[in-house]
Chains A and B, each alone.
Chain A
Amino acid sequence: MLNNILTIRGLKITAQIDGIDSDIVHGIDLDLKRGEILGLIGESGAGKSSIGLAAMGFTRNGCKISAGEIDFDGLDLARATEKQKQNLRGVRIAYVAQSAAASFNPAHKLIDQYAEAPLSHGLSNAFESKQEAIELYRKLQLPTPEEIGFRYPHQLSGGQLQRAMTAMAMSCKPDLIIFDEPTTALDVTTQIEVLSAIRDIVREYKTAALYITHDLAVVAQMADRIQVLKDGRAVEMSETSKMLAAPQEDYTKTLWAVRNFQRREKAFDPKDIILSLNNIDASYERHGPKILNDVSIRVVRGQTLAVVGESGSGKSTTARVLCGLLEASKGELVFNGGVLPLNYRKRDKNTLKNLQLIYQMADTALNPRQTLLQILGRPLEFYLGLKGEEKNARVAQLLEQVELEPKRFLNRYPGELSGGQKQRVSIARALAAEPELIICDEITSALDQAVNESILNLLNRLQEDLNLTYIFITHDLATVRAIADEVVVMWQGKVLEQSTTEALFSPPYHEYTERLLSSVPQMDPQWLDELLRQRAKAEAI
């Protein structure tokens, strides 16, 4: 106990939902020693962010700490006054949020935002704090540490911002930092840089940390101990290596189920090409830089083709060209043996019906002012001419197909659904058109692991039932391994290779593919160290 910087006992957090109090965290105990990193993991709704905020004595709007104590170095934050808590926050406890881009004030330079906390708490003067900022930027391996602080947030990439945010959290040398999913929004290659930077700095300053994530492999690299949460309850807690080697609870095992997700073998005819892209070039402005450069891809009917690459590789642009939203400047699209017009406006209704797109952000892909009945009913009416009772019955059937109960959901608006449910509705909308090919643009990247797995399962089942072909655009290689039959690797607008999934995931690798593959976090706690050592070695040669 004496060694603990943070001791939580019997913490209960109550939220008001529709005027009724209900517990979202049911009595959690936590111990965090000085200089220790504790991983909190669980799917969305597990209460991990609420616990993270409670560790600062803070709750979200509409929530309150209803029972328990939060002892931070002798002070009970559950009962402390607002003034006492204010003196701690930013100085002795700091917080790094999931989206650094949304957490910085876009109107101020990074270094001014860095200096805000030390200045307002009177710990440092303007000159000193700037020197410290530059020092921290250097330690966090940000490029040009002397200058980067004088830029505005939008001038940095996502990974750089996340590191700048960490620097800001370190500004007052806090005893405890809470990291709330700091790398979730980043792609795998960027994630590595941020992870190693965060880990090194936390170790160097001997700061205790709560590391919140839904990704077990990430937490394995960072944490000394792991606490698994589900629905606001503690599931199990142990040392990282022990947890990975022998998880005790069934729930813990399901957390990395998607990594072990097994694709069923499908029978298909490799000569039956449903769609091919032949030597496609595309750019967003006339005579502008080429976003796609001589891209050729073949898609076999009934298969799932994954298109992978980091952000900026042109994989989403490929989807837009396929849909005809972006007119290719050169090349040809062949669908079902016929040449497709490059602009969707020139395509006939039947072609549009057969080629459906599912968007990454279900939030913006569904009209917030239409009920699910309207959203799903429209393609039925438009493509198939269904009306009245017939249409309603089909909508109910579609909702059942995506595992949503028609009675409960028919008249809801998208705003009343969770992220995973919205994505299911998007899938149902695509299915309503009875298409032959569905393009899935990063549809699982905004969802957490467990929801992700259920969506992939759903897609797999639908493919078997309806003989669909998928083009699956993603940066997540675990997903690729789980669902794809063939994989196209893209890099800077070019196709590096197209091969079967088995061939891609077994050597010999293409150079870039290898880098991409090796960037996917593994369950091994030594993995990050090992990888960084190997890369350093490779660069030395």
Chain B
Amino acid sequence: MQKFLSSWWGIPLSAQFGLLVITAYLLLVALAPWLAPFGETEILANAYEPWSSTYWLGTDSLGRDMLSRIIYGARNTVGIALIATLLAFLIGGLLGLLAATVGGVLDQLLSRMVDVIMAIPSLIFALLMLTIVGTSATSLVLVIALLDSTKVFRLARSVAQSIVVMDFVEAARLRGEGRWYLMRHEILPNVSAPLIAEFGLRFCFVFLFISTLSFLGLGTQPPAADWGSMVRDNATLISFGDITPLLPALAIALLTVAINFVVDWKLHDASGLKD
């Protein structure tokens, strides 16, 4: 505990804030059924009830409790975004490193495939794919991961390419090391800084992308709660000067900022920059 506290105070203020916010969101995700006063899809009252002691944030267009839906929405939105981003990094990062390390035909093949995918606007491509495979959470995660892995691939490959030509990689090759060792121990530690930075950005993009899809009706399907679709469903209230529909958007913004604070701090560590 002592150790934890002393290292905690060594962290910059912005990162502390970020870590607290992220922890709060994770708790929200894990403890949603216990934290939410009502069920996710329970219809409780009239549509668009104002804020009251029973319904702290009022009700939505179908008379469901707003607060409960925001809490449950964290599960769907954050969960899917996180899994999709991680998957995108796993696929894109791994293939990018592989392409840079092996080079030659494999590199050409992978790079041209990525070019083809990137040539199609991603929103249209996602809409197309989701229409074909149907809009379940799994297919949503897979489609987004596939689309985003192309960007991760390009970054990982180009950064790794400048590392691969260094003498220490050549020395490891001469030692007779296998591909996996080269990628994992010689190259990855040297490309981690830009990849971590990209992770923060990419996570936010995915997050917004899911919300966009939901807003268009192809993301999380009703009646499940999702911050993007919640904004859409209750958008009419905005014209009456009520800020309630914007709260899910605020939740998105807050998490985005928090993640980037933490990423900035980790980036500082990973790039080995000293003050």
Contact = CB atoms under 8 A, between A and B. Distances in A.
Given A369-B189, A415-B272, A364 B167 contact: yes
A496 interface: no
A383 B272 CA distance: 31
Contacts of B168: 364-367
Interface in B172-199: 172-177, 185-186, 189-190
B176 A352 contact: yes
A365 B176 contact: no
B174 A344 contact: yes
A323 B174 contact: yes
B115 interface: no
Given A382-B177, A415-B272, A365 B189 contact: no
B175 A367 contact: no
13 contacts: A324-B174, A325-B174, A344-B174, A344-B176, A347-B176, A349-B176, A352-B174, A352-B176, A361-B167, A364-B168, A365-B171, A378-B175, A429-B171
Contact of A379 (B170, B175, B185, B186): B175
Interface string A308-326: 0000000000000001110
A368 B186 CA distance: 9
A344 B167 contact: no
Task: Identify the interface centre among B172, B173, B176: most chain A CB within 10 Å of its CB.
Answer: B176
B167 to A, nearest CB: 4
Interface in B79-123: none
Contacts of B173: 344
A152 interface: no
A364 B171 CA distance: 10
Nearest to A365: B167
Contacts of A357: 171, 174
A78 interface: no
A84 interface: no
A323 B185 CA distance: 22
Instruction: List 4 A-B pairs, minimum CB-CB distance, nearest first.
Output: A369-B189, A365-B167, A364-B167, A367-B168
A415 B189 CA distance: 15
Interface SS of B by simple majority: helix
Contacts, number: 47
Contacts of B167: 359, 361, 364-365
A11 interface: no
B166 interface: yes
Interface of A: 323-325, 344, 347, 349, 352, 357, 359, 361, 364-370, 374, 378-379, 382-383, 415, 429, 433
Given A344-B174, A349-B176, 13 more contacts: A352-B174, A357-B174, A359-B171, A364-B166, A364-B168, A365-B167, A367-B190, A370-B189, A374-B185, A378-B185, A382-B175, A382-B176, A383-B175
Contacts of B171: 357, 359, 365, 429
A417 to B, nearest CB: 14
Contacts of B176: 344, 347, 349, 352, 382
A394 to B, nearest CB: 16
B185 to A, nearest CB: 7
Contacts of B177: 382
Task: Identify the interface centre among A361, A369, A382: most chain B CB within 10 Å of its CB.
Answer: A369
A415 B168 CA distance: 14
A368 B272 CA distance: 10
Given A367-B168, A370-B185, A433 B190 contact: no
Interface string B147-176: 000000000000000000011101111111
B188 to A, nearest CB: 9
B186 A367 contact: yes
A324 B173 CA distance: 11
Contact of A325 (B170, B172, B272): B170
Nearest to B186: A367
Contacts of A359: 167, 171
Nearest to A344: B174
Nearest to B163: A367
B185 A352 contact: no
A359 B171 CA distance: 9
Nearest to A356: B174
A369 B188 CA distance: 10
Nearest to B178: A382
B248 to A, nearest CB: 41
A347 B167 CA distance: 19
Contacts of A369: 189-190
Contacts of B170: 325
Interface in B109-150: none
Nearest to B165: A364
Nearest to A348: B176
A374 B186 CA distance: 11
Contacts of B272: 368, 415
A366 B168 CA distance: 5
Task: Identify the interface centre among B167, B173, B190: most chain A CB within 10 Å of its CB.
Answer: B167
Contacts of B190: 367-369
Contacts of B186: 367
A370 B185 CA distance: 9
